[in-house]
Structure 1
């Protein structure tokens, strides 16, 4: 009897004991996922490429710029929703508030981008001016007329220089011949001067000899001497 009474008491305690918590508590918040349909307006575009008369890739350039990475809000949202499913309704409201806090920077950035897209006429005007300037630069870069003119001018100058060079060579050869003739002429002049000096010396020697010989020369008429001789004979 005592053992049967103990078994009945244990059975009563098991019935009155609380059930263990489920590993996946029920969602009592009554929250349902709603799909909101929103109309997507066409994106605001500004076709910069259409303002250019050439493809920038032909000069190794590109108009594509890297956009800053967007904040991965999808992962944050999904994680917060999973946490919210495990909590009571009042806590879920707190999670939504936290979620909005996380998204504040994204919302501000998105708002700033929208404002910038709708308020940038000055930037578009500057881009247009730069495209006009780029088109002119590219046209000037592709214009080879001046290069062709300069090449033709260089060829003409080279031909003229060659002609002058050949003329200079001819004149140098002629000048060399004239220089040789001048040297020969100078040699002749020197030889002539030397000969004249020798002739002058010979002339002086001859005059001295004549002067010496002239001392023995008796000049005058024979008649006076004959008269002297005849007067003696008489």
Structure 2
């Protein structure tokens, strides 16, 4: 078994540190939403209000290590050079994707990029700092703003996309990414089992035969959707 999952021990240690920080914040996040529900002011997880967004502004909410590592491995399997990540946050999962693109380009030659999008200024600054510390900044194009604007001019072909954002924004992301996704390309969507009703519009898009997509829910915590373009 490879003792360095990302083929870079320093990067392995750094992402472990970030995952621990994210894990340490979970109790506080759970308590916040539970307290709101107890007060009769439950937050709509499919469309968060201003107070909830402000509370979450400094929270990592990182994609779990096993899911992020799967994304990394799939990028390697696809020899991915153009990857899109919707919902970059602090850039934890971006590090897995960018490292895969770096390994592919170092092995095969040429160039590659992970295109990320994030709306929260504080998270953008933190993510960029993390990219520099990890030494992958040359492989990341982080776009600031609403994904419905930042992802409009995506270039084809996209090899893989990761959608890890509030469910209400999943369908707009799919509408922009799918036309540029190459045949055999993949889209991964987090928490589709936990929030299946909130993802209803996204699944309507995925299941529309005009878009040429196949999907399977993988048995990760909360569900991880694996969508394939035929």
Given the two structures, how large is their TM-score scaled by the length of structure 1? 0.16
Higher strand share: 2
Q: Which has the higher contact order (CA 8 A, sep 6+)?
A: 1
Larger Rg: 1
Given the two structures, how large is their TM-score scaled by the length of structure 2? 0.16
Higher helix share: 1
